[in-house]
Amino acid sequence: MFPMEIQQSGNRFYIDDKAEITFYTQGEDTIVINHTFVDPSLRGQGIAKQLLNRVIDYARENNLKIVPLCSYAVTAMKNDASVQDVLK
């Protein structure tokens, strides 16, 4: 499997039409992750985690806090000590 490039379009990071994570802004310093999708053909390869990590990097680069709303983001972030700095 070759590495796939994560692209950004507005409040969305995605890989072709096969995987995406979306968020919206809330106030001036917060983003809310509201949707994560990975095509069944790509599941089990850590794609959702790569997308989530890209949102976390984006939040850090822009001094934003994250409110995870979609079930994947909630589960992946709540017990991860390395992301507590961006959780709101």
Residue identified by tokens 């409040």 is: 11
pTM above 0.85, yes or no: yes
Structure tokens at 81: 């000590």
* HEC letters along 60-78: HHCCCEEEECCHHHHHHHH
- Measured CA to CA in angstroms, residue 22 lies from 2, 47, 51, 81 at distances of 24, 14, 9, 22
Q: Which residue has the higher pLDDT, 10 or 1?
A: 10
pLDDT of the residue at 3: 62
Task: Give me the sheet containing 65-68, strands edge to edge.
Answer: 7-8, 12-15, 19-26, 30-38, 65-68
pLDDT digits (tens, 9 = 90+) for 36-77: 999 999 999 999 999 999 999 999 999 999 999 999 999 999
